[in-house]
C-alpha cells in the first residue's frame, strides 16, 4: 500500500459520458454483431451526443461564463474541462464517421442495402429523383438569399439546412452570393426508391441528396458554385422560475416554445464545405472553430434508424424476442378476483424485457374494470405518445374510479407528451398533480385501493423503470407487484405527500428521496465498514446507470479502505476511480453494453448475513438524492431476493462477452472471454424464457 491515492479522487462527468459512448460505438465495430444492429448503435451514439451537447456542453459553457475560476471536484476549471471534452468529442465523432463510411455502409451495400449518392445515379434514377424533388420537395422550400433585406433566418434546433454559394444577378439586378435553404421538417429524411428504379433490393435516397442535386432549380438564372448541408445544436435545457410561477403547465408550455431557439453550442457541417463558409456560419451563431464538427455522411446520422426499423432482413438483426408472460400470469383469465388473489398470496417479481410487461397492464386493466376497486394512484415520468397504460387510466376515470395521476411535466424531451396526457386525464375527471416544483417525480409506483370484506386493501406496483411498454422491451428493469400492507401503506403516504401539503410522513419500509434514501444508503455502507473492521464478512454490490454523488463515493472509498469487497456495475457515467492502492483497491468496476439497455438500479449489502437488497428508481447522483422524488424498496421474499441477486448482479459479474472493466484513469478495457462464454443478455433470455 505504498502508492499514494490519485488526486483528485473523482473523474470528470462529461469525459465519463463520452467513454460510455465509446463503449456503445464499439458494438458497431464488432463484425459478429448483426449488420443493421451495428448501424443502430451508430445512430444511438448520434442521438446520445445530441443530448450531450444540448445539456452537458451547454452547462459547461454556462459555467465558463458564470464561474470561470471555480475548480470542480475533478480538479478542473470549466474551461479546462471544456477543452478536454471537446477534444474527446471530436475524436469520437471522427471515429463514428470512419466507421459509418468505411465499414458499415459498404457492408450494407454488399447486402443490397444502399444509400444512393447522386454521383452514382443512373439516368432512370436521376429522373425519378428529379420528379420527387419537383413534386414533393421544391414546393415546400423557401430559399433565403442573404442581403440587407433578407437577414439570416431563424434556424430550428438540429434542423437540416443548406448553405448555397451562388454567382450571377437575379431578376432585380442584385448580385447573388450566399443563400440558405432550410429543409422542411415535414419531409422524410430517408426515401425508399422503387426496386425497378434503384436496381438493388433496398435502395434509399436521402433528402439531403435530393436538395443538393437539384437546388439549382430553386435559383433560376444563377450559377450554383456549391451546396453544403449543416445543422446547429442549441442549448435545450429548460428553466422555470419556481418562485414566480403559479401554473407549472402554462409556464412550461411557454418555455417549450423557445427551447428550439436557445444559444448555439455545436455546428455540424459537410466535410467538403469551404473554410470561408464555415467561418461565416461560426460568426452567425457566435461559435468557435472547436465548436464545429465536419461530418462525412448525413449531419443527422440518427435519421438512419429508419433503415434498422423498416428493412425486412431478420438475418441482419438480433433474433426476434417476444417476452414471455411468466407463470402464474400466463394462465390468468380476465377475472379480477383471481389476479388480486394471486398478488395477495405473495409478491411477484417481473424482470423486463426478458419477461413481458403485460402483467403490469393486466393489473391496471383489472383495477380499471373491477367494481371493488375504488381508487387508482399512479406516477408518470415517461410513457410515450401511444400508451395502452394511459388509455387504461382514462377508462378507469370514465368508469367512475378515483384516479390520481402524478405527471412529471419536466421529464426532459417528453414535456409536451406529458402535458398532452395531463390535459386528457383532466378532461375525464382524473385528479392530476404535477408533483413538487423543483423536485422531479422520478419514482415509479402504482397503488390500487380495493374494497374487500368491508375494508380497504391496498395493492401496489413498484419499479425501476418507466411505465412505457415500448422501452420495457428494450431496457432491463425490475417490477414488483405486491400486497404487502407495510409497503403499500408507505406508497399511500408518498402519494399523499406528492398531491397534498403537510409534514413528512414516516415510512416503514420505503426509502425516499429527498428525505431518507441518501442517509439510508450511507448507513448501510457504514454498517459494512463496521462489520469489516470487526473481522466479519463485508460485501457490497450495486448496479446503476450513473455513479456521481461525491459523498457516496467517499463512503465507498472508506469502505474499500476498511476491507469491504465492492463490485459496482455502472452502465454510464462514473466519477469513482476503482483499484487505486490506498484508496479503492477493493473496488471493482464494470459496465455492461449489449443488446438491451441496462437500466435497473439494484443495491446489495451483505449485512452480516441478512443480505439486504433494494431496488430503486434512483441512480447514485446528486439530483436523484436531493432534487427528485425517488423511492428505494426492499425485496422481502427470500426466493425473489435470490432471483434479483443472481439475475442483476452475479451473472453480470460473470459476464465475459458484454462487460468492460473500468480503470482508475477513467478508461475501460473489454473483459476477455476466459472460460465458458457467458453473455448476460442471452443467458437471461434463455433462462427466463424457459420458466
Residues 517 and 562 in one domain: yes
Question: In this structure, is residue 354 part of a structural domain?
Answer: yes
pLDDT digits 0-9 by tens, 332-365? 878 899 999 999 999 999 999 999 999 999 999 9
Predicted confidence band at 244 (pLDDT cuts at 50, 70, 90)?
Answer: very low
Q: Which residue of the set 442, 468, 518, 683 is catalytic?
A: 442
Whether 614 and 542 have beta carbons less than 8 Å apart is answered as no
Q: Has residue 139 got a pLDDT over 90?
A: yes
Check whether residue 396 and residue 460 sit in a common domain: yes
Q: Could you tell me the pLDDT band of residue 1, with boundaries at 50, 70 and 90?
A: very low
Q: Are residues 177 and 223 in the same domain?
A: yes
Per the CB < 8 A criterion, the answer to whether 600 and 648 are in contact is yes
Whether residues 310 and 361 share a domain: the answer is: no
What CATH code is carried by the domain that includes residue 358? Answer: 3.30.870.10
Residue of 82, 120, 611, 37 whose CA lies nearest to 321: 37
Backbone Cα Rg of the chain? 27
Q: Is there a domain that residue 642 lies in?
A: yes
Average the pLDDT over each of 288-302, 410-424, 664-678 and give the range with the smallest value: 410-424
Half-sphere exposure of 583 toward its Cβ, with a 13 Å CA cutoff? 16
The predicted pLDDT at position 556 comes to 98
Per-residue confidence band for 2, with pLDDT thresholds at 50, 70 and 90: very low
Lowest-pLDDT range of 173-187, 324-338, 407-421: 407-421
Q: Is residue 3 included in any domain, yes or no?
A: no
Percent of the chain whose pLDDT exceeds 90: 82
Q: What is the model's pLDDT at position 147?
A: 73
CA 132-136-139 angle, to 5 degrees, is: 125
Q: Is residue 88 part of a domain?
A: yes
Structural domain contains residue 588: yes
Residue-averaged pLDDT of the chain: 92
- CA-CA distances (angstroms) from residue 310 to 44, 84, 193, 210, 383? 16, 38, 14, 21, 23
**Domain-located, residue 473:** yes
Of 505, 530, 552, the position where a domain reaches its end is 505
User: What pLDDT does 3 receive?
Assistant: 42
Q: Given this model, what pLDDT does residue 502 score?
A: 72
Domains held by the chain: number: 3
The reply to whether 1 falls in a domain is: no
- What is the layout of strands, in order, in the sheet containing 190-193? 113-115, 202-206, 190-193
Q: 134 and 235 share a domain?
A: yes
- CA 158 to CA 161: how far, in whole Å? 9
Residue with cell 422524488: 629
pLDDT, residue 243, reads 47
Q: Which of 283, 316, 349 represents a domain boundary (last residue)?
A: 316
* Residues 482 and 540 both lie in one domain: no
Whether the predicted model's global pTM rises above the 0.85 cut: yes
Q: Are residues 444 and 540 in the same domain?
A: no
- Is 442 catalytic? The answer is yes
- Whether 145 has a pLDDT exceeding 90, the answer reads no
Check pLDDT > 70 for residue 248. no
Beta carbons of 571 and 658 less than 8 angstroms apart: no
User: Is the pLDDT assigned to residue 242 strictly greater than 90?
Assistant: no
User: Domain of 24: which CATH number?
Assistant: 3.30.1840.10
Q: Across residues 237-251, what is the average pLDDT?
A: 55
Going by the DSSP 8-state scheme, the letter that residue 169 receives in this structure is B
Grid coordinates belonging to 462 = 413498484
Is residue 192 located within the same domain as residue 115?
Answer: yes
Whether 564 and 582 map to the same domain: the answer is yes
Q: Which whole number is the average pLDDT over 598-604?
A: 98
Mark whether 221 and 77 lie in a shared domain.
yes
**Cβ proximity of 616 and 518 under 8 Å:** no
> Which among 290, 316, 342 is the end of a domain?
316
336 and 462 in a single domain? The answer is: yes
Q: Over the stretch 385-428, which tens digit does the pLDDT of each residue have?
A: 889 999 999 999 999 999 999 988 876 767 788 888 888 999 99
Domain residue limits at 130: 13-316
Lowest-confidence pick of 104-108, 380-384, 530-534? 380-384
Q: Which cell numbers hold the place of 458?
A: 391496498
Residues 6+ apart with CB under 8 A from 378: 393, 403, 404, 405, 406, 445, 446, 447, 467
Residues 24-30, mean pLDDT to the nearest whole number: 96
Q: How many Cα neighbours within 13 Å face the side chain of 324?
A: 14
pLDDT tens-place string over residues 486-539: 999 999 999 999 988 777 889 999 999 999 999 999 999 999 999 999 999 999
Together in a domain, 366 and 311: no
Residue 8 forms part of a structural domain:
no
Amino acid at each position: 500500500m505504498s502508492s499514494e491515492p490519485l488526486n483528485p479522487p473523482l473523474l470528470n462527468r462529461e469525459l465519463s459520458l463520452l467513454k460510455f459512448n465509446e463503449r456503445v460505438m464499439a458494438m458497431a465495430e464488432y463484425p459478429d454483431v448483426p449488420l443493421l444492429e451495428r448501424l443502430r448503435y451508430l445512430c444511438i451514439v448520434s442521438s446520445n451526443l445530441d443530448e450531450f451537447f444540448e445539456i452537458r456542453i451547454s452547462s459547461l459553457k454556462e459555467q465558463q461564463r458564470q464561474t470561470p475560476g471555480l475548480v470542480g471536484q475533478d480538479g478542473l476549471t470549466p474551461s479546462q474541462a471544456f477543452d478536454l471534452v471537446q477534444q474527446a468529442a471530436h475524436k469520437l465523432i471522427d471515429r463514428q464517421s470512419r466507421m459509418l463510411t468505411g465499414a458499415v455502409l459498404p457492408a450494407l451495400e454488399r447486402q443490397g442495402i444502399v444509400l444512393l449518392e447522386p454521383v452514382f445515379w443512373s439516368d432512370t434514377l436521376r429522373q425519378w429523383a428529379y420528379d420527387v424533388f419537383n413534386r414533393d420537395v421544391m414546393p415546400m422550400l423557401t430559399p433565403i438569399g442573404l442581403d440587407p433585406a433578407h437577414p439570416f433566418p431563424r434556424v430550428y434546433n438540429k434542423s437540416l439546412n443548406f448553405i448555397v454559394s451562388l454567382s450571377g444577378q437575379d431578376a432585380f439586378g442584385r448580385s447573388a452570393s450566399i443563400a440558405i435553404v432550410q429543409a422542411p421538417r415535414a419531409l422524410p429524411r430517408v426515401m425508399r426508391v422503387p426496386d425497378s428504379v434503384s436496381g438493388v433490393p433496398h435502395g434509399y435516397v436521402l433528402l439531403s441528396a435530393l436538395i443538393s442535386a437539384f437546388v439549382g432549380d430553386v435559383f433560376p438564372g444563377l450559377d450554383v458554385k456549391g451546396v453544403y448541408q449543416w445543422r446547429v445544436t442549441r442549448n435545450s435545457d429548460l428553466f422555470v422560475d419556481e418562485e414566480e410561477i403559479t401554473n407549472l403547465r402554462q409556464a412550461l408550455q411557454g418555455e417549450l416554445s423557445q427551447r428550439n431557439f436557445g444559444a448555439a453550442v455545436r455546428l455540424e457541417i459537410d466535410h467538403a464545405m469551404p473554410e470561408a463558409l464555415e467561418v461565416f456560419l461560426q460568426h452567425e451563431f457566435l461559435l468557435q472553430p472547436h465548436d464545429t464538427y465536419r461530418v462525412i455522411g448525413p449531419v443527422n446520422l440518427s435519421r438512419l434508424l429508419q433503415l434498422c426499423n423498416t428493412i425486412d432482413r431478420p438475418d441482419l438483426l438480433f433474433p426476434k424476442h417476444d417476452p414471455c408472460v411468466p407463470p402464474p400470469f400466463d394462465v390468468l383469465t380476465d377475472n379480477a378476483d383471481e389476479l388480486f388473489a394471486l398478488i395477495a398470496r405473495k409478491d411477484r417479481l417481473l424482470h423486463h424485457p426478458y419477461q413481458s410487461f403485460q402483467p403490469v397492464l393486466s393489473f391496471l386493466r383489472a383495477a380499471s374494470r373491477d367494481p371493488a376497486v375504488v381508487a387508482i394512484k399512479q406516477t408518470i415520468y415517461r410513457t410515450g405518445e401511444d400508451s395502452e397504460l394511459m388509455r387504461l387510466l382514462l377508462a378507469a376515470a370514465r368508469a367512475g374510479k378515483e384516479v390520481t395521476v402524478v405527471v412529471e411535466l419536466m421529464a426532459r424531451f417528453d414535456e409536451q407528451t406529458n402535458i398532452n396526457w395531463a390535459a386528457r386525464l383532466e378532461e375525464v375527471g382524473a385528479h392530476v398533480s404535477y408533483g413538487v416544483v423543483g423536485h422531479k417525480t422520478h419514482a415509479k409506483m402504482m397503488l390500487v385501493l380495493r374494497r374487500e370484506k368491508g375494508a380497504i386493501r391496498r395493492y401496489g406496483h413498484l419499479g425501476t423503470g418507466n411505465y412505457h411498454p415500448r422501452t420495457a422491451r428494450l431496457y432491463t428493469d425490475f417490477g414488483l407487484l405486491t400486497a404487502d400492507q407495510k409497503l403499500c401503506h408507505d406508497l399511500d403516504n408518498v402519494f399523499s405527500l406528492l398531491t397534498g401539503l403537510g409534514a413528512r410522513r414516516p415510512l416503514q419500509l420505503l426509502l425516499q428521496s429527498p428525505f431518507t434514501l441518501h442517509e439510508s444508503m450511507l448507513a448501510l455502507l457504514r454498517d459494512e465498514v463496521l462489520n469489516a473492521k470487526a473481522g466479519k464478512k463485508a460485501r457490497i454490490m450495486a448496479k446503476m446507470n450513473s455513479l456521481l454523488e461525491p459523498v457516496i463515493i467517499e463512503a465507498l472509498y472508506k469502505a474499500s479502505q476498511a476491507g469491504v469487497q465492492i463490485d459496482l456495475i455502472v452502465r454510464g457515467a462514473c466519477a469513482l476511480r476503482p483499484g487505486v492502492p490506498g484508496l479503492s483497491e477493493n473496488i471493482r468496476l464494470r459496465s455492461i453494453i449489449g443488446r438491451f439497455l441496462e437500466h435497473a438500479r439494484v443495491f446489495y449489502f451483505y449485512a452480516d448475513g441478512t443480505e439486504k437488497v433494494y431496488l430503486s428508481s434512483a441512480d447514485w447522483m446528486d439530483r436523484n438524492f436531493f432534487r427528485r422524488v425517488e423511492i428505494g424498496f426492499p425485496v422481502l421474499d427470500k426466493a425473489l431476493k435470490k432471483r434479483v441477486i443472481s439475475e442483476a448482479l452475479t451473472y453480470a459479474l460473470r459476464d465475459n462477452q458484454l462487460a468492460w472493466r473500468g480503470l482508475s484513469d477513467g478508461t475501460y478495457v473489454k473483459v476477455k472471454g476466459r472460460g465458458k462464454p457467458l453473455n448476460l443478455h442471452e443467458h437471461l433470455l434463455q433462462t427466463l424464457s424457459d420458466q
